[in-house]
Each structure stands twice: as structure tokens, then as C-alpha cells.
Amino acid sequence: MIGLNHYLLLGTVLFGIGAYGVFAKRNAIAVLMSIELMLNAVNVNFVAINRFLQPAAGMGQLFAIFVIVVAAAEVAVGLALIISIYRHRKSVDLNDFNLLKW
């Protein structure tokens, strides 16, 4: 029987993969995709907890939809940034994006 724990475990694994991608990937697009993974891990958690603990409320589903919307906007902004940086640096490698230093 698949229970809440399995969903939470899935969420954790997804989040971990995403976090790993965010910290370790050198390609900016891949980092953006990893962020999507992390957001989706959260979505899985929202939906699962809503379904198993408070089926009547539906608040979790609502939030999941919000997250999907925000993620879409975020991807739009993020891609725009990456394209903008790409125009200057001719690269999407994060190692070249070292503007945030002393």
C-alpha cells in the first residue's frame, strides 16, 4: 500500500536531486531546470499532505497551482536573465558569472 511516507520520500528525493543540480551544475539552463525540480518536489509534498491529512480542505492543491504559476514566471525571468548574460559573456557557464564579488 502506498502511503504518505512514500510520497514524502519521493518529494525528498526530488528535492535532493534538484538541490544537487542547483549547487553542482555548471550550465545555467540546467540550474534553472534543477530549480524546477525542487519546486515540483514541494508540489508533490503539498498535494500528498493535503490528500492524506486534510482531504476536505484542498488548500494544498491550491498552493501547488500557485507554485506552478510562480515557477512559470520565474522560468521566464530566469531565462531572460540568462539570455541577457549570454549576450555579454557568450557563455552560459556559471563559472564565468563571477560578478558578485569584491
Nearer to other proteins, 15 or 64 (CB): 15
- Could you give the C-alpha distances from 56 to 33, 48, 53, 61, 101, in angstroms and in order? 33, 13, 9, 11, 50
Cα(35)–Cα(63) distance, integer angstroms: 17
x/- mask, other proteins, residues 34-73, rule CB under 8 A, reads ----------------------------------------
Query: Which residue from 8, 17, 19, 33 is in contact with other proteins, where contact means CB under 8 A?
Result: 19
> Does 29 sit near other proteins (CB under 8 A)?
no
SS3 at position 102: coil
Closest distance of CB 56 from other proteins, Å: 29
> What are the strands, taking DSSP E only, across 2-99?
none
